[in-house]
Structure 1
C-alpha cells in the first residue's frame, strides 16, 4: 500500500486489477518519484543504484600537471603545435653529420651514440617479440581462461538472480490470483446482498402502500358503520 500527496491509497494487484484511468496520473507520479531516486540528480553525481561500486578515479588536474595545462590551453585556442612541441621523431632517425661537420669528431660521436641507442632499441624490440612469440600464446590462453571463468560465474549469478526474480513473480501472481478469486467471491456476495436489500426495500414499499390503503379502507368502513348505527 502506498500513500501519495493526493491522499490516495493504492492497493495494487497488477496480475488481477484492471487499471483505472483516474488513477493513471497518480501511478505516473509514483514512477517519476522512483526514477528520480535511482537516476543521478546532476551529471557529475553517481546514481544511487551504483553506490555499491567504487568511485571512479578522478581526472588529472591541470594545476598539478603543467604540460597538460599548456596542451589543454593550446587545444582550446585551436593553435597548431609549433616545432618541437609534438613528438620528437629525431631520436628514431639515423642522423649523419652534415657536410660542414664531416670533420667534426663530436658530430660523429653523437651519430655513433644515436646509432647505438637505436640498435639497442631494435634489440629490445626483437627480444620482446621473441618472448611474446614464445610465451605470449600461453599467457593469452591463461587470461582468456580466467575471463571465460569470470564470465561463466557472472552469467551463473545472473541466472540465479533471474530464477529468484521469476520465482517471486510466480508467487506474487499466484497470491494475487488467489486474492482476486476471494475478491470476486466477496464482490458477488456483496452484489447479492445489495440486490436482496433492494428487493426487501421494494417489497417494504409495496407493503407500506398496501398498509396505507388498508388503513384508509378500515377508516372508511368504520365511518359507514357509525353512520348506519345512527
Structure 2
C-alpha cells in the first residue's frame, strides 16, 4: 500500500519559482529518475491485472500478424470454389457443399439486410449512452476537483496572515540565536584577552 504524504507546497501563497529554481528542480528529478527503472512498477503497487476483450485465439492471431506471419488455418475456400475432382469432372458432392455454403451465405446476407440496420442503430444508441455516462462522470470529477481546489485556496488565503507571522517569527528567532552566539564568542574573546591568553 502506498504511503500518502502531504506536499510541502502552498501554491496560493508561495511565490512562483524562478527559472533557475525550475532548472535545478528538473535536474534533481532527472538525477533521481536515473536510479529508478521506468519499466518495472514500484514494488508497493499491486500487480497490474491483464484485462483484454480478446479471446486467446484472437490474441494468437494478432501476435502472428504483428510478426508478419501468415495464418495457416481458417476456412479453406477451395472447398466452396473448386467443384471439380482431380480428373476435371464435376464432383456432385463438392457442388452440394458449395451450394449449401452459398445458400447459408445468402441467408445471412438477407438477415443482415433485414435486421442489420436495427442492430447497428441499437449498437450506436448503446455507445451514445455509454459516452453520455462517461461525460457525466468526467463532469462530476471536474466539479469535485474544482471544489477541492477552491477549498484549498480559501484555506490557504485564510491562513496567510498566520503563515506570514510564523515565518517572520522564525526568521527573527533564527536571527536572535545567531546574534546570541556571536555575542557569546565576542565575550569569550574578551575574557581570553583579559586573562592574557
TM-score computed with the length of structure 2 as normaliser: 0.55
1:1-230 → structure 2 map (5 Å cutoff): 11-18=8-15, 19=17, 25=25, 29=29, 41=40, 48=45, 54-56=49-51, 88-97=76-85, 101=87, 108=90, 111-184=91-164, 186=165, 190=169
1:167 to 1:49, Cα distance in 2 relative to 1, 3 A: farther
Equivalent residues of 1:15, 1:173 under 8 A apart:
yes
How many Å separate the matches in 2 of 1:49 and 1:166?
29
For these two proteins, the number of residue pairs brought into alignment is 154
RMSD: 4.8
- Is the 2:80–2:101 Cα contact (8 Å) retained in structure 1? no
Structure 2: gaps of 5 or more residues: 177-197
Unaligned runs of 5+ in 1: 4-9, 198-230
Structure 1 CA distance for aligned equivalents of residues 146 and 132 of structure 2? 20
Q: Check whether the contact 2:13–2:157 (CA below 8 A) recurs between aligned residues.
A: yes
The structure having more radius of gyration, on CA atoms, is 1
